Copies of this chain bind each other. A is one copy, B any other.
């Protein structure tokens, strides 16, 4: 018999829709009469260790709906990645509070946390149901068609490149936009969805799925600049050389490491600046500008995909249904079933945990610097309704009168 108490937490980097999943869990759980309390742990697993819980049963449905539409993690997040000892401590807290359902919303690090907690519970003979709910702007969870959070970040990136391309066409030069994505290039590739007319940028896209060679990059930029008189470039923060060493490491002398051993590539404009310097000095182009999209792309308010909102809500709801009516732990996954429709399924935690999906080869052109129509077809429905569209003047030239004489 269930204890009547469930716990939900949010881990990893925030997204524009992660609160939809939180509210999906909370409201759906409140419909089950055996659920007495819905607790939220503040700042992820760290909040479990610290017994830092809030009672979401005392929150109004109305405010929950408003929070659902607010970006970032309303419960707070953490970068902690529990080891065995950490997980044993999680148990002591869960047991002490008689919590028997644990929902953790996060990316592949978080899914690994759920896997470890689930195993520890089984070994300890504690009746815990553990469900991982997917979330990541990187879109790098295996077993998922895509992950909640990615479509809204992709929409931001596409809209940003639509604007950057128009800006660059107005004052021609070279523009470099650096996009998040440590191992997977999906978000950088989304820049291509900002293109409309054939000569629109981004003209070149550099993904972590392909080796970055500086000389090739400069040759690409030169050729594009000569052809269009300008060049718009999308670059993933995770680009690396043939040895796998991040290009960013050429620049940042001291690199920060977070608790997961990941090099900090976000929160600094160094790579954009270095690439711009290379273009200026090696190609002799005067007007070269770089932007690093940074945190804007994952928590911007007011640029959200309605498809993403809907799905993020549903993975939260389905997680509760799988937990209440099912007989196993797992990771909720999105499966595409049509053009465009989805179903949700519960994957074994081992199938998802700690694994990293990268862009499929069919999504990248042979040149390695553009995306295919297959990717365009894949991403477009995810961006949702009401995507803004760019228009231009038709060219009706007026004859010169001065130079004719």
Contact = CB atoms under 8 A, between A and B. Distances in A.
Nearest to A26: B393
A51 B289 contact: no
Contacts of A392: 67, 70, 74
Contact of A167 (B14, B288, B292): B14
A298 B164 CA distance: 9
Contacts of A13: 171
A90 to B, nearest CB: 12
Contact of A77 (B170, B289, B294): B170
Interface stretch (A92-100, A234-242, A308-316): A92-100
A391 B14 contact: no
Given A56-B393, A70-B391, A294 B295 contact: no
The count of identical subunits is 2
Interface stretch (A209-217, A261-269, A370-378): A261-269
Contacts of A10: 170
How many chain A residues sit at the interface, stated as a range, is: 35 or more
Interface in A75-111: 75-79, 92-93, 96-97
Given A53-B397, A302-B303, A398-B53, A269 B272 contact: yes
Interface string A380-402: 00000001111111111110111
A53 B403 CA distance: 14
A295 B402 CA distance: 37
A73 B393 CA distance: 10
A293 interface: yes
A41 to B, nearest CB: 10
A300 interface: yes
Contact of A268 (B56, B266, B290): B290
Interface in A161-211: 162-164, 166-167, 169-172, 175
The 4 residue pairs across chains A and B that have the minimum distance between CB atoms: A269-B269, A267-B289, A72-B166, A291-B294
A66 interface: yes
A266 B395 CA distance: 31
Contact of A396 (B51, B55, B288): B55
A367 interface: no
Contact of A63 (B273, B298, B393): B393
Contacts of A293: 291, 296
A72 to B, nearest CB: 3
A355 to B, nearest CB: 23
A160 B294 CA distance: 11
A285 interface: no
Nearest to A162: B301
A401 B96 contact: yes
Contacts of A169: 72, 76
A70 B401 contact: no
Nearest to A72: B166
B166 A402 contact: no
Contacts of A402: 51, 92-93, 96
A40 interface: yes
A384 to B, nearest CB: 12
B71 A166 contact: yes
Given A273-B270, A401-B97, A54 B393 contact: yes
A379 interface: no
Given A72-B169, A269-B292, 15 more contacts: A54-B393, A55-B396, A63-B391, A70-B392, A71-B163, A73-B170, A74-B392, A77-B171, A159-B300, A163-B295, A164-B296, A267-B276, A291-B294, A291-B296, A302-B303
14 contacts: A13-B171, A14-B170, A51-B403, A53-B397, A59-B396, A73-B170, A74-B170, A76-B171, A77-B171, A167-B299, A268-B290, A291-B296, A296-B296, A303-B303
